[in-house]
Structure 1
Amino acid sequence: MQKEKSSEWPLIDAFGICRQTILPLYRRPTFDSAMVTQLLFGECYQTIGMTSDQQWFKILHEDTGLQGWITTQTLKEIPGADYYNFLNRDFQVVTSPIAAIEYLGTNLYLLPGSRLHFSDLELFNWQDHIGFTGSVRSHAIKADRSQLIDIAIKYVNAPYQAGGRSIFGLDERQGFELIFSIAGYSWKSGKIPGRKIDPELVLPGDLFIFRELEKKQVNYALYLGSEEVFWMDNRIKVSDMSEWETFLRSRKDKQVELETRSILS
């Protein structure tokens, strides 16, 4: 049944998968709307609504918990059994800045975080069968601190883009979520995993989280060791701690909070 006073029709038990390099999700069913997030190749979603003319579909990306609208041309449906199978088994996640796969008779470029639904337990070497070029890691194996930092460094100089999840444009919060996800750590939107630690005990791969409580704005910095941090200042950069601290002191909010958090065990 159509929602009252709305052109949106709800859907249930409908599922899809991203089959392009980047799939933008919009806040409303129009290209003039703000971009909420982006899906990468191989990421799955639930289809939860559509416009009455069936030109736009509302989807839920379960990994991040974010919802948005995509066009009917970009909708790629899959059976529910495949959806839950993809979510609950291991897969390969792209780690190289640019990878490529033969798809529908052509080369499709893949970005870090893209997913290939093969596990390390396959009885054959899947890379020999699908024409893949690039580097991947098993999502089921959690990265160590050095590997996490290697993943993060690939995003240095990525410009800020609201809702962005790629080396061509990165949302600060979603970017850090993506980096940890590539490393095998689940970080749903707004729910940071791990535990608080004493700042004096910080190790490479730990997070500094700076919150402006009045503005409800959050800034992140990944500690790299040797007093260096990885953070966003209109673009992703690496600097010494003092530069990041100077940036924080320039903030106007009088109610602030600094948390140090270890996500890796």
Structure 2
Amino acid sequence: MEFGICHLNCIALRKEPSDQSEMVSQLLFGETFEVLLAEGDWIQVHLDYDFYEGWVSSKQIKELDGEVYHRISKKSPCFSDEMVTFITNQDDQFQLITLGAVLPEYKKGSFYLDEFHYDFDGEVINGKMPKSNLVRTAYKFLNAPFLWGGRTPFGVDCSGFTQMVYKINGYQLFRDAHQQASQGEVLSFIEECEPGDLAFFDNEEGEIIHAGIILDNNYIIHCHGKVRIDRIDSSGIYNVDTNRHTHKLRVMKQLF
């Protein structure tokens, strides 16, 4: 196998080839990858969107031939803009998909995943959206529980949240917070920020460990226990429930 695609709602991307290994990220429906290595029932993959690498179970992915893979990869992706919805295949079987699922070769309410035809009756996002749409998407994740490695409204981590908000709106962010912090232009003051800009936070060793999306009026939406809204100031994130700072501000970035 050289190329593949995720044909389930989401599957675990693991650090090592084992069900007991740490989940470092997730593949969502319609996301494609190249195969690096095979080991038993596991394959090591290189994801096309963010170049992340990890191990997935071969039972949970679908192989693509080179021609189909390259055809899908060259097209501007369409994403589901529905929190949770169903797609149906040619056998009238239902399948769950969540916000940000990729709809390969989507056209007028239907799409194909290799030889399989699916119908989709929902809102679709395609291409680069206005910056204001980032906040709209971010609010859709509000109260999603924290899940290490997660990228869906059923469970998401801080950088999975920021990545998915940007991805759905047509902009590429790397997977981890420290990688995302290398992108974009530095903003010196909170007053320079616009809704949709990114803020990053570090630990005592100076390592960037957290990310969030800036809102109007010195608020920030981020994932800490759950996706929540707190205050942000020059020191960092001020938790509105505990009345204390929880994250130390390192840098603010504007991608566009």
| TM-score for both structures, normalised by structure 2 | 0.85
Q: Equivalents in 2 of 1:104, 1:39: separation in Å?
A: 24
Q: Equivalents in 1 of 2:204, 2:69: separation in Å?
A: 38
Q: Which residue of 2 aligns with 1:45?
A: 33
Show CA shifts across 1:186-244 (max 9, x none). 11231453211232211111112122261624222211213321012211101333696
CA 1:72–1:258 in structure 2 vs 1: closer, same or farther (change >3 Å)?
A: closer
CA 1:170–1:82 in structure 2 vs 1: closer, same or farther (change >3 Å)?
A: same
Counterparts of 1:38-187 in structure 2 under 5 Å? 38-51=26-39, 54-103=40-89, 105=91, 106-118=93-105, 125-127=108-110, 130-138=118-126, 141-187=127-173
Q: Which residue of 1 aligns with 2:114?
A: none
- The amino acid that maps onto 1:258 is R
1:212–1:257 contact (8 Å) kept in structure 2: no
Corresponding residue SS for 1:93:
strand
CA 1:25–1:104 in structure 2 vs 1: closer, same or farther (change >3 Å)?
A: farther
Q: Equivalents in 2 of 1:90, 1:250: separation in Å?
A: 39
2:184 is the alignment partner of 1:194: yes
1:36–1:67 contact (8 Å) kept in structure 2: no
Corresponding residue SS for 1:84:
helix
2:29–2:102 contact (8 Å) kept in structure 1: yes
2:78–2:124 contact (8 Å) kept in structure 1: yes
Corresponding residue SS for 1:186:
coil
Corresponding residue SS for 2:163:
helix
Q: Equivalents in 2 of 1:38, 1:151: separation in Å?
A: 19
Query: Which runs of 5 or more structure 1 residues have no equivalent in the other structure?
Result: 1-12
Identity among equivalent pairs (%): 23
Corresponding residue SS for 1:82:
helix
- The amino acid that maps onto 2:22 is A
Q: Equivalents in 1 of 2:60, 2:157: separation in Å?
A: 22
- In the TM superposition, residue 56 of structure 1 has moved relative to its aligned partner by 1.5
Q: Equivalents in 2 of 1:104, 1:20: separation in Å?
A: 16
Q: Equivalents in 1 of 2:42, 2:211: separation in Å?
A: 34
Q: Equivalents in 2 of 1:237, 1:194: separation in Å?
A: 24
Q: Equivalents in 2 of 1:67, 1:100: separation in Å?
A: 28
Q: Which has the higher strand share?
A: 2
CA 1:30–1:104 in structure 2 vs 1: closer, same or farther (change >3 Å)?
A: farther
| TM-score for both structures, normalised by structure 1 | 0.82
